[in-house]
Chains A and B, each alone.
Chain A
Amino acid sequence: MKTIVETSTKLSKYLLADDVSLTSTATNITVGDPAQFIIGDLNSTTVTITDGVTNAPDDWTGNKYFFDGTAWSANPHWVDPDADEGD
């Protein structure tokens, strides 16, 4: 797996399969080739990408964990998103 970590906060924002290509520019990050989606609020200057991650938490969700390049730790401010059925 590979993870995209926001460097300033060390929050793991994305966890992706190793074979998913990432194209980082000063503007954004394109995920996949062809593009699956574009990360518009992060770029090559604001993230740290770590490949070969093998110890990601089973319940990984974006912003739920910090990653320092080696170890994972829980984000104490994490709040589960509200219910997503109905309105």
Chain B
Amino acid sequence: MKYIGNVQSQAESEVYAVASGALPDGKPVVVNSNGTVSVIAQTSATQNIGSEVIYEAGDSSQTAAAYDPSIDRIVIAFMDDDNSQDGTAVVGTVSGDSISFGTPTVFSTAALQTSIGIVYDASAGKVVVFYQGASSHGKARVCTVDPSDNSITFGTEASFNAASTNYIAASYDANAQKTVIQYQHSSTGVAIVGTVSGTDISFGSSTQFSSSNIVYGSNAYDSTAQKVIIAYRGASNYGRARVATISGTSVSFGTEVVFESATSNEMKVSYDANSNRTVIVYSDQGNSNQGTAIVGTVSGTDISFGTAVVFNADTTATTSIVYDSTAKKVVIAYPDGDGDGSDNGKLIVGTVSGTSISFGTPVVFEAGIVGNPSCFISSAFDSTANRCVIAYGDRSDSNKGKAVVFQNTFTSTNLTTENFLGFTNAAYATGQTATIQAGGAINTVDTEVVTIGFLLSAASYDNKSLSVNSSETKPVTIAVSTDGTKLFIAGQTGDAVDQWTLSTPFDVSTGSYDSVTFSYASSAGTNVEGMFFKPDGTKFFLTDDQNKRVYAYTMSSAYNLATTSYDSVSFNIASQASANPKGIAFNSDGTKFFVLGFPSGTATIFQYNLSTAYNIATASYSNNSLNVNSQVSSGGGGIQFNGDDTKFYVSSNSADDIFQYNMTSAGDLSTASYSSVNFRTASQTSAITNFYWGNSGQKLYAMSYSNDTVFQYSTSSSVGGPITAGQQYFVQGDGTIGTTAATPSVIAGTAVSATDLIVKG
């Protein structure tokens, strides 16, 4: 090992730590919170919404939700309209894209008439609810959740306002370890500070922040400024905000700022920790009640705002907003309409940039009628599951209390600005003590070029094609050998599989017909639609539209069609793919296969399980199916997995597209959802009947029925390779190094050769 600079000894440039997970040689590593070290890795997810789950079978409203990270539970407080308007709370556990609930428990038998405030007090490790109790007075109770059964109990009820109290909102100040509660009192706006001790809460003296009447208040805590922002509809019914500062058990306020000089309703506030900005969403009555968002910046005890941005150009009766700290975006849920009976529940993801905010495409989370102008939607972010929970009253279903789990699209890394340690000097297994070359050491980095395949989003046409007209004039399906030297097509003129040779592997422009064919007419009939080759080339499978079965064939010599024989084994899929069965694909170990079919004209994927790999005599339907009609419609064709079964792809010849679906559990169709990634081949052909991946997903081959032609695409990217002496390198979020700073920006060091790098001290 070589050293430079002021390093006095080997010990000063090396760190010894226990590996958590395997550590390859020459890779950057990070130190974990428990002192172990791990490779830098990314995790990612694509957007998905789980099915609705009922937590209250009766009429519910005034919904308020919070997440308790100490026990990994969601707490939803609501008014149980069917039970004397009792204040009620229920505890939920997020699992994947679903949530399960304990039994709703009453925390107040006084009839609630106004919004409920709810916070998670990190100091106490408790959720606290603030509500209108007996005689309409402001009350609070500290919640204790038993995560073993999701039961919830409450501390002694405490009063924070012995008078009529409305429009209650609260947020926890992590710096002060206290909660600021705002509320309407005697046609003014008042705030008070609450302090939790054990299962009880006490309050300081109240402070008036608005001498005018306030309604629709909402709070958020700015963790950077260590201030609470309160928003409300104040004087002149305008949207207003103030910055609150806790001192002891008192609260004071900066100057009131008008952020909307028009009637503003249903304010909700969230703090975006990524941009260090506050986002206020509201219904702008001065602009046709459109759903509107504005970004606020706290400076000292004041707040200033950017320009308001409309996120829903329709009446937006109520809103909720929550910050997704994993995706680093805000999620807004709202009813799209004016509460007239056609208000689908929608959510939209907002990205803050500077003092403005932009939005993605809204998605429906409840195809019914959600909420009304009375705080009927609330959201919380589960930072363990990395998912948002949207709780709401479903007006299309007797106002039942329901929740959905929303998975935001994200890519995150375990690399931070602080935890980069250095590079491994060798490969280590988990649990071994690894030597990490740290600041000042010269490390030989891993310069292996890594190619990533199956990148449908990066697909580009190679300007290479192959006409297969000489063997088949109605080609419907295609396969390519693992080594890329053989290409097989099947069609409905010859009712046979035809074998072609690619003289340059994976390059269809070098293809020539082998004049080798295998007729399947006597087994699979004359309407074959799908074909899949076992990767070792000893078997292939066909689907047909005539008998709606899967057929198995064996090649005694791998990928040599001349050695093919029918296994005399077929599997009936007519009970599921009752119409137009098309493509077929096996997972990587041959224990599952998916078939695309069109029962009742609806494009649907069906999953079948095999007790013996690639033996369809052992197949059975899994009862898992996925409706893909929104993408594929009536002209679907092929289906293919990626290499690790976490994705599959479906082609549509009516849309000339190939669509990507992600599975959160590998090979499990029940966990699949559309990824919003697709690739259109229309520039080459308007009739893809099927497609196939080649070369570990680096190539994509699309079979055109109308052109009798195979079109070739590249679908990969490469990372790694030699480094350049004198060049500064940065650690990337995926564990590689590069010449440009990533997010977060972490310097790896400076290269001194094509392989060696001085580790940044």
Contacts and interface: CB of A to CB of B under 8 A. Distances in A.
Interface of A: 6, 13-14, 27-28, 35-42, 61-63, 79, 81-82, 84-87
A6 B373 contact: no
Contact of B261 (A13, A82, A85): A13
Contacts of A63: 261-263, 286
A26 B578 CA distance: 68
Contacts, number: 74
Contact of A40 (B115, B236, B305): B305
Nearest to A4: B261
Q: Is the interface of B mostly helix, strand, loop or mixed?
A: strand
A21 to B, nearest CB: 14
Contact of B215 (A13, A39, A42, A84): A84
B166 A41 contact: no
B304 interface: yes
A27 B261 contact: no
Nearest to A9: B286
21 contacts: A28-B304, A37-B240, A37-B256, A38-B255, A38-B256, A40-B258, A40-B305, A41-B261, A41-B305, A42-B258, A61-B237, A62-B261, A63-B262, A79-B263, A81-B233, A81-B237, A81-B285, A86-B166, A87-B114, A87-B215, A87-B375
B420 interface: no
Interface residues of B, number: 34
B414 interface: no
B213 interface: yes
Contact of A62 (B237, B255, B303): B237
Given A28-B304, A87-B113, A87-B115, A41 B255 contact: no
Contacts of B236: 14, 61-62
A30 to B, nearest CB: 8
Nearest to B261: A13
Given A87-B115, A87-B375, A14 B213 contact: no
A62 B262 contact: yes
A75 to B, nearest CB: 10
Given A27-B304, A37-B258, A63-B286, 4 more contacts: A28-B304, A38-B258, A62-B261, A85-B166
B263 A87 contact: no
B140 to A, nearest CB: 17
Contacts of B174: none
B257 A40 contact: yes
Contacts of B259: 40-41
A14 B261 contact: yes
Contacts of A87: 62, 113-115, 166-167, 215, 374-375
A81 B308 CA distance: 20
B495 interface: no
Count chain A CB atoms within 10 A of each CB in B113, B265, B285, B303 and give the residue with the most. B285
Interface string B199-236: 00000000000000101000000000000000001011
Nearest to A60: B236
A82 B216 CA distance: 11
A84 B263 CA distance: 12
Contacts of B262: 62-63
Contacts of A82: 265, 373
Contacts of B261: 6, 13-14, 39, 41-42, 62-63
Count chain A CB atoms within 10 A of each CB in B240, B286, B302 and give the residue with the most. B286
B381 interface: no
B661 interface: no
The 7 A-B residue pairs with the shortest CB-CB distance, nearest first, are A87-B114, A37-B256, A62-B236, A81-B237, A40-B257, A38-B257, A13-B261
B59 interface: no
B260 A41 contact: yes
B238 interface: yes
B356 to A, nearest CB: 14
